[in-house]
Amino acid sequence: MLIAGNWKMFKGPAETAGFCLELRRADVSGIEVVVCPPFVSLATAVQLLAGTDIAVAAQNVHWDADGAFTGEVSAPMLRELGVYGAIVGHSERRQYFGETDETVARRTEAALAAGLSVIACVGETETQRERGETEDVLRRQVSVLPADEQLVVAYEPVWAIGTGKSATADIAQEAHGFIKSLLDVPVLYGGSVKPDNAAELLAQPAVDGALVGGASLDVDSFTAICRASIRS
C-alpha cells in the first residue's frame, strides 16, 4: 500500500519544513509514504525526512538531462537532490500545460532510465465518462506507459480531483481492474480521498494505495489516510 501526497502549488520551503518535522513525529511506520512538494521545496523535504522511510517525489520531470528548456527540471537533477521519484501526467498538467500522451511517455521513460520511480496519472473527464468513453481513454493513456518495476499508475478521474466528489469504491475497483488488465503494475486511486472515505476505497482489492491532493496538505488528515491504509 502506497500513500502519496501531491501538494500541487502549495508550501514553500518554510512551510515544508514545518510539515516534515510534524510528519516525522507522526506514526506512519509500516506504510509506504511519499510526499510530493513543489520543486523549490524538494531539498528541504529530502533533508528533513532523511533517516525516515518517508520518500520525496517531484510533481513533474523533463525528458532531457539538460538543455534549453526554460522552466523545466531534469531527472538527473532530481536524483542529485536525493529525490526518489516523480509524478507524471497529472490531469492539471494535461489540462493547463499542454501535457499529451506523447510527452507523458517521454517524461516517464527518461525518469525511469535515470533511476527515478514514476507515478503516472491517467483518468477520464466527466464528459468522457458520460459518453461511455472511459475504457477507451484509459486504454489510450496507459498504452504509452512501459511495464517497469518502478512504475505505478494513479487512476485519477478528472471529475473527482479537487471536487469533493470521490469515485465510489465500485467505480474505482472497476477502473483499476481494467488498468491492471492492460498493464501489470500497482494502481493508486486519486480524487477527493479524505480520512472518511479512504478506508472504503483502499479496501478494494485492485486499489494499491492513494494519490491524495487537498487532504495531504494537513499532517493530521494525511496521516489519518495513511493509517486507514493499514486497516484496509
- Cα 146–Cα 152–Cα 156 angle in degrees, nearest 5: 110
Provide CB contacts within 8 A for 216, sequence distance 6+.
4, 5, 6, 7, 35, 222, 225
Does position 192 bind ligand PEP by CB under 6 A?
yes
Whether 156 sits among the annotated catalytic residues: the reply is yes
Stretch that binds ligand PEP, among 60-68, 102-110, 135-143, 205-213 (CB under 6 A): 205-213
Q: Which of 62, 90, 92, 99 is catalytic?
A: 90
Whether 80 sits among the annotated catalytic residues: the reply is no
Cell numbers 489519518 correspond to what residue? 224
- Cβ atoms of residues 142 and 179 within 8 Å: yes
Query: Looking at 38, 89, 209, 214, which residue binds ligand PEP (CB under 6 A)?
Result: 214
- Report the sign of the C-alpha dihedral through residues 91, 95, 96, 102, in that order: positive
> Which is nearer to ligand PEP, 215 or 226 (by Cβ)?
215
Q: Amino acid identity, residue 72?
A: E
Smallest separation, CB 150 to ligand PEP (Å): 19
Does position 190 bind ligand PEP by CB under 6 A?
yes
- Residues with active-site annotation: 90, 156
Binding site for ligand PEP (CB under 6 A): 6, 8, 156, 161-162, 190-193, 211-215
